[in-house]
Amino acid sequence: MTEIRTVGVCGAGTMGSGIAIVAARAGYRVVLFDTSDASLERARRQTEGFFGKSVERGKMTRDQADAALAACTTTTALADLAGCDAVIEAVFENLEVKRGLFRQLNGICPEHTLFASNTSTLSITEIASGCGREDRVVGMHFCLPAQLMKLVEMSPGLNTSEETFAAAWAFCEALGQRPVKTQDTPGFVLNYFLVPFNNDVIRLIEAGVAAPADVDRAIKAGLGYKMGPCELLDLIGLDTQVLLCEAFYGVTHDPRCATPPLLKRMVAAGHLGRKSGRGLLHLRPRRDVRRLR
C-alpha cells in the first residue's frame, strides 16, 4: 500500500475546510478543491484564523502553524488532485453528485489513490458504484467541526477491500482522529439518532413549545451537550439539514426524518444559519403557533 503523503479534499464548505485543517495539522500536504473561488477564499480565511488561534492558545507553535498553512493549496481545477494519495469528498448530500465526482477522479488520480466519502447518510456502496475502483472506496464520516471533534465513522462498502479499509483506518489514526467501524447502513451511528432528533427540535420550536435559545439551554444543561441542537443546525447550515432529511427519508421512509415545514420555509427565505447570518437562533417567539398535543 502506497504511503499517504498528499491529501485531496473536495468541497470547501464548513466540513471540507475542517477536514483540510485536520490533514494539514497532521503534517500532510493538502489540496482543497471547490468550483467556487469565494468558497475557497472563505476556507483560506477560516484556516488562517484557526491556526492563528491555535498559536494564541498554545496548541501550536508559530513555526508549526506556518508549516501547516504552507502545506495547504486551493484549486478550482479537479485535475490538480492528480498527485493525491487519498481524496476525501465533502460535497453536499446528493448521490449522483458524489458518484459522478468519484468517476471523474478515477480518470485523474493514480491507481493507488484511496477515495473516501464524508457522507453522513448515503450508502458507501452506492456512492462507489461504477466509479472504476469500488474496492478502494471507503466511508470516513467526520464530525462537525472536524478540526475540533475527534470521532470518525469508518464504513466499508460491500466491495471495499480489507487492504483499503485497513489503510484508511491507519490514515484516520495518523490524522489524530478516533475511528469507529460501522456498517454501510443509513445514518451509520450518529445520524441515525441525530437527523430525526434535530427534526424533532425544529417541530418543537414550530409548535411554540420553547424558543430556540431555550431549547439549546435545556439540552446543554439537562443532557450535558456542549453544543445545543439549534446552534449545531445553524453551524452545519439549514440547507444541509434539508439535504440530510431528503437523503435519509428517501431510504428509511421514517416520518421523523421527513423535512419539517419550518425548515423548508427558512431555507426558501434564505435563512440558512451562520452562512447567511440568520438561522434558528434568530427566530423570534410567536404567539399564534399551534401547540403540540
Residue pLDDT, tens place only, 121-168: 899 999 999 999 999 999 999 998 899 999 999 999 999 999 999 999
- pTM (predicted TM-score): 0.87
* Residue 112 is a catalytic residue: no
pLDDT on residue 227: 93
* Residue 120 is a catalytic residue: yes
pLDDT tens string 25-39 = 999 999 999 999 999
Catalytic residue among 89, 93, 153, 231: 153
- Residue 120 φ then ψ, to 5°: -110, -10
Mean pLDDT of 208-227: 95
Please report which confidence band the pLDDT of residue 74 belongs to, taking 50, 70 and 90 as the band edges.
very high
Catalytic residue among 118, 191, 198, 199: 191
Q: Residue 288: is its pLDDT beyond 70?
A: no
Mean pLDDT of 73-86: 98
Which domains can be identified in the chain, with CATH numbers? 6-181 (3.40.50.720), 191-281 (1.10.1040.10)
Catalytic residue among 117, 141, 155, 199: 141
* Residue 153 is a catalytic residue: yes
* Residue 191 is a catalytic residue: yes
